[in-house]
Chain A
């Protein structure tokens, strides 16, 4: 894979959207994430890479407080979204998650029609005043997820009947339908074939125009293809964070170099 394919863009002018400092995560007594500090930039794709169990998914799930649903998890440190602490007592995780969308490793469409899948978020957050507005949100979201042309004639068919790649794009449409500011993706292509992967990657590049995208991936080629910033995690530590091109061509830490050249992980 030619690393020069990396989309080159100047990220220095962009302001941080999420600022994490000194984040620690414990599962019971297991210290899963150790003192992670990172800035997630606006309108940028940030890739989290690292071997399995390195804490990258754990950190991703801190960003929308999905770790709250795990009884044994305990999060310490500060995570600011647009300057506001998301772990503050006054913050409602339900509203927070409407602002930070998430796409999972395995496509998980609801057992409902394609339309109802996408309309789910707008409905529970009361984003549409009438049916016409809801229809519009559904169409825009499906278009944004590059799925509209394939499903526009069967919106009432069950979402579970789509192919794996279509299901994953449906989940992306579902996530963007609430109009989030940040989109978190936890290995979104690991269950997809190369063609569906290419479609989702092209989609990520388009979504970056409007959102801040954070993607966890096991594929270094994918990180190089889609991201501008890359963070390398190892054994619960954030080892190195920087411009994707720099991480892949001139890593500062020997552990990063070992990982991207295939010696560890």
Chain B
């Protein structure tokens, strides 16, 4: 019986429980729903929950735990002699698993158990049979491994059977117990409410735990990196020169500098343009202009950043080189901080303008009326009344754009190049933290050398940066909110 079918059966039982619970509640009061503590549907829902939840939870836990337990018991059958030189136990175990799944497939395709037993006694035959299914088995596979696969398959099918029995038993027991518990006094509404509360808590916990998990994995791998590479060099060296043969110098500063420089150029372009266009849209534009211009501006946010990258590579880069960098004698590279910053700034305009526009719109009209009634012009009203009142939100919008700029990768690769450099010249090619994370991890490398593990330390650095920005945003917003409410 497959998991999908089992799920359907449990759901069917639960639906039956719903009808039964509802019907029993109504029957207990002879159809007069006013005498019930809760609405009839709540009685049905409580039986539904008690039928479905225990069964599904068991199913979930079983599905996660079973492979782990089986693997542990089967691993005992593998001796050190079965592990070829240069591989590890976990690689052999994955072979065991593949062979077990493959033989299961042979049975599913119509092979009888006796035929299979004969085949298992003949490694070469088994190998060719599995090969036809696309499961390759190495020549070096020892009989022990085949035995382990056999045991794996046996325990897996036993476990599967146990799981089905347990889940169905729980569903039926839950159905019967909760259905017979239904009386007019049962507080079914409260049961359903507390279930909804637990569901909501669970949903937010998943988000928090995922974040913690990401941070933990970053910290763990970074710690691993600092075991292999001195933290002092990472944080204080001014050169970035990874060599996969060893002897790399992995100073973070050229990358941090490139990140900050490109983000700065992007924000210098995006913040004034974004805020000014938000002011125009919300305070000056007629409803017709606004209804056309705002969606147009928001289309900018929908363009994939790789397209912006192409624009930087093909158009903006050569343009800046030919008209600014070369005449000013500042360089001859079409990849430059200015190119990436300019294009990224254009990409960020809608982030700033759209959010700021919403925030400016939420400033009460009564404040504008008060200002106009004193004889202020629209621009005086915007500058002295509307913007100060909207400032916390606008700061939030800007910092969101800043986080986006710091995390951007594609535009930097195509616009600013991949050379790690410490330079003030905006027409020089530079690179950022994100680009180097990608370039350190792409290619055929293993996660054991400092040259690859440095990616995690870089990721952690980036995370600390954006975290700091977010805390700063919270702080600013809180400070001004106190002042203006």
Check B483–A125 contact: CB distance below 8 A.
no
A71 close to chain B: CB less than 8 A: yes
Q: Is A148 an interface residue (CB 8 A)?
A: no
In the complex, what residues of B have CB within 8 A of residue A160's CB?
Answer: 484-485
**B372 — which chain A residues lie within 8 A by C-beta?**
66, 69, 97
From B367, B370, B376, B377, residue with most partner A Cβ within 10 Å: B370
Closest to A171 in B: B370
B287 within 8 A of A: yes
Q: How many angstroms between the C-alpha atoms of A102 and B370 in the bound complex?
A: 8
**B366 and A125 form a contact (CB under 8 A):** no
Rounded to whole angstroms, the CA-CA distance of A22 and B111 in the bound complex is 101
Task: Answer whether A120 and B371 are a contact pair too, CB < 8 Å, given A94-B376, A111-B389, A158-B484.
Answer: yes
By a CB distance below 8 angstroms, the chain A residues around B287 are: 71
Q: Cβ of A30 < 8 Å from any Cβ of B? A: no
Which residues of chain A (3-53) have a CB below 8 Å from chain B? Answer: none
Check: B445 CB closer than 8 A to any chain A CB.
no
Any B CB within 8 A of the CB of A229: no
- Nearest residue, chain A, Cβ from B483: A158
> Within A48-93, which residues are at the interface with B (CB < 8 Å)?
64, 66, 69, 71
Say yes or no: A94-B384 contact (C-beta < 8 A), given A66-B372, A69-B372: no
CB neighbours of A109 from chain B (8 A) = 370
A97 and B373 within 8 A (CB)? yes
State whether A125 touches B373 (Cβ < 8 A).
no
A169 interface residue per 8 A CB criterion: no
Which A199-216 residues sit within 8 Å CB-CB of chain B? none
> Is B329's CB within 8 Å of the partner chain A?
no
**Does B298 touch A at the CB level, under 8 Å?**
no
Bound complex: CA A264 to CA B331 (Å): 83
Tell me whether A98 and B369 are in contact (CB under 8 A): no
Q: Which residues 274-291 in B have Cβ within 8 Å of A in the complex?
A: 286-287
Q: How far is the CB of B485 from chain A (nearest CB, A)?
A: 7
CB distance from A222 to the nearest CB of B (A): 21
- Min CB distance, A75 to chain B, in Å? 16
Q: Is the interface of B mostly helix, strand, loop or mixed?
A: helix
Residues of A near B367 (CB, < 8 A) are: 108, 110-111
- Bound together, the chains give a CA A174 to CA B374 distance in angstroms of 8
Q: Taking A71-B287, A158-B483, A160-B485 as contacts, is the C-beta distance between A120 and B373 under 8 angstroms?
A: no
The answer to whether A108 touches B370 (Cβ under 8 A) is yes
Size class of the contact patch on chain A: 20 to 34
Residue B366 contacts which of A96, A106, A158 (CB distance < 8 angstroms)? Answer: A106
Residue B119 CB within 8 A of the other chain: no
Tell me if B245 is interfacial: C-beta within 8 Å of chain A: no
Taking the nearest CB of chain A, how far is it from the CB of B133, in angstroms?
Answer: 72
Give the contacts of B342-398 with A (CB-CB under 8 A): 364, 366-377, 380, 384-385, 388-389
Q: How far is the CB of A149 from chain B (nearest CB, A)?
A: 24
Does the CB pair B369–A94 fall under 8 Å?
no
What A residues does B369 contact at CB under 8 A? Answer: 66, 69, 104, 108
Note all chain B residues with C-beta closer than 8 A to A121.
374-376
**Size class of the B contact interface (CB-based, 8 Å):** 20 to 34
CB distance from B289 to the nearest CB of A (A): 12
- A101 sits at the interface (CB 8 A): yes
Enumerate chain A residues within 8 angstroms of B485, measured Cβ to Cβ: 160
Cβ-based interface call for A132 (8 A):
no
CA distance A112 to B385 in the complex (A): 8
B455-485 CB contacts (< 8 Å) to partner A? 483-485
A178 close to B (CB within 8 Å) = yes
On chain A, the residues within 8 Å of B384 by CB distance are 110, 112, 120, 124
For B389, the chain A residues whose CB sits under 8 A away are 110-111
With A66-B372, A98-B375 given, is the CB distance from A104 to B366 under 8 Å? yes
B373, B374, B388, B483: the one contacting A124 at CB < 8 Å is B374
Task: Please pick, from B366, B368, B374, the residue contacting A120 in the complex, using a CB distance under 8 A.
Answer: B374
Closest to A95 in B: B375
- Residues of B close to A110: CB separation below 8 A: 367, 370-371, 384-385, 388-389
Neighbour of B377 across the interface among A71, A94, A112, CB < 8 A: A94
Are A175 and B375 interface neighbours, CB within 8 A? Answer: no
With a cutoff of 8 Å between Cβ atoms, the chain B residues found around residue A125 in the complex are 375
In Å, the complex CA distance between A71 and B484 comes to: 29
A111 touches B366 (CB 8 A): no
Q: Which residues of A contact B364 (CB under 8 A)?
A: 108
Chain A positions within 8 Å of B388 at CB level: 110-112
B286 nearest in chain A by CB position: A71
A30–B454 Cα gap in the complex (Å)? 70
Cβ–Cβ < 8 Å partners of A69 in chain B: 368-369, 372
Q: In whole angstroms, what is the CA distance A97 to B381 when docked?
A: 14
* Nearest neighbor of A112 in chain B, beta-carbon distance: B388
Inter-subunit contact B484/A111 (CB<8 Å): yes
Q: How far is the CA of A174 from the CA of B376 in the complex (A)?
A: 13
- How far does the alpha carbon of A185 sit from the alpha carbon of B411 in the complex, in Å? 57
Chain A residues with Cβ below 8 Å from B373 are 64, 66, 97, 101-102, 104, 175
B484 touches A175 (CB 8 A): no
Against B, the Cβ 8 Å flags (1 = close, 0 = not) of A157-184 are 0101000000000010011001000000
- The answer on a CB contact under 8 Å between B374 and A98 is yes
Q: Could you say which of A96, A104, A106, A110 has the most chain B C-beta atoms within 10 Å of its C-beta?
A: A110
Measured between beta carbons, the chain B residues less than 8 angstroms from A124 are 374-377, 380, 384
Query: Please, which residues of chain A bring their CB within 8 A of the CB of B484?
Result: 111, 158, 160
Chain B, residue nearest A184 (CB): B373
Within 8 A of A (CB), among B377-432: 377, 380, 384-385, 388-389
A96 CA to B372 CA, complexed, in Å: 11
Chain B residues with CB under 8 Å of A71's CB are 286-287
B interface residues (Cβ-Cβ under 8 A, vs A): 286-287, 364, 366-377, 380, 384-385, 388-389, 483-485
List 10 contacting pairs A-B, 8 Å CB cutoff, sorted by A. A97-B373, A98-B374, A102-B373, A104-B369, A104-B370, A110-B388, A110-B389, A124-B384, A160-B485, A171-B370
Knowing that A110-B367, A125-B375 touch, tell me 16 more A-B residue pairs with CB under 8 angstroms: A66-B372, A69-B369, A94-B376, A97-B375, A101-B373, A104-B373, A108-B370, A110-B371, A110-B388, A112-B388, A120-B374, A121-B374, A124-B374, A124-B377, A174-B370, A178-B375
The 7 closest A-B pairs by CB, nearest first: A98-B375, A102-B373, A97-B375, A111-B484, A108-B366, A121-B374, A108-B370
